[in-house]
Amino acid sequence: MRLLLAEDNRELAEWLARLLRRENYTIDLVHDGEEAEAALRIGGHDLVILDLDLPGLDGWEILKRFRARDTATPVLILTANDAVSARVRGLDAGADDYLIKPFEPSELEARIRAQFRRTRPNRAMEVRFGPLVYDGTTRAFTLAEAPLALTPRESAVLEALILKNGKPVRKESLYDTVFGVDEEANPAAIEIHVHRLRKKLEGSGVAVVTMRGLGYLLGTER
């Protein structure tokens, strides 16, 4: 799942990005209003975390413009302003939730999960592919009923594959799923994560299959 994090406090932003990437989210990180507006116009985000006090375009203007184009993608506001009037204004402007700084990381993570439950009520809570099971609530995998230990990026690749129900996923799409726009990585890095996944799935009957010219899909081990 891809999140846009717009926060001008670079230390806080980097800390939040690391935290959320450990939870298997792909993070596009921006630090000012113009960058946020440009990223939102490109689109493709499942949720937006928006600081109201961005330099350049402030969060209020960004939210107004975004809601004129997109009424479905959830927006979670971060701000140090704890006035009730500010919270009311934010919610009336189209925000879906409001979190006051400072906050506990566990609360931010819980509010993100709550937004996904609200906006995707019909999404399968559990997806199976043979002995491989994906829990849509915890976003964790088990293999033959045992927890499958994955890095965040391995988990992001496997999540993208299992949710495609046996259809191929292009390498470029996997790259966009795994890496944020602010992260520098060689597109060939996807091949490394796929190779490591294959090792961890080896002997289970489940395999990551290469479809020449089409990408990768989950299939049966030969």
pLDDT in tens, 165-188: 788 998 888 888 788 766 767 778
Say if pTM beats, i.e. exceeds, 0.85: no
Judge if 155 and 100 occupy the same domain: no
* Structural domain ending residue among the three candidates 95, 119, 143: 119
- Select from 162, 120, 213, 218 the least CA-distant residue to 24: 162
Point out which residues pair with 26 in neighbouring strands.
Answer: 2
Going from the C-alpha of 162 to that of each of 7, 70, 111, 141, the distances in angstroms are 32, 28, 25, 10
Instruction: Supply the range of the domain harboring residue 196.
Output: 126-220
Q: Average the pLDDT over 35-54 and give the result.
A: 92
Can you give the pLDDT at residue 182? 67
Instruction: Tell me phi and psi for residue 81, to 5 degrees.
Output: -80, 110
Judge if 94 and 130 occupy the same domain: no
Judge if 58 and 73 occupy the same domain: yes
* Structural domain ending residue among the three candidates 91, 119, 147: 119
* Structural domain ending residue among the three candidates 84, 103, 119: 119
Asked if the model's pLDDT at residue 122 lies above 60, the reply is: no
Percent of the chain topping pLDDT 70: 96
Judge if 137 and 87 occupy the same domain: no
Residues 189-201 have pLDDT tens digits of: 889 999 999 999 9
CATH of the domain at 212: 1.10.10.10
Residues 130-163 have pLDDT tens digits of: 999 998 777 889 999 999 999 888 998 998 899 8
User: Which is higher by pLDDT, 120 or 161?
Assistant: 161
Can you give the pLDDT at residue 9? 92
Judge if 181 and 146 occupy the same domain: yes
Judge if 159 and 210 occupy the same domain: yes
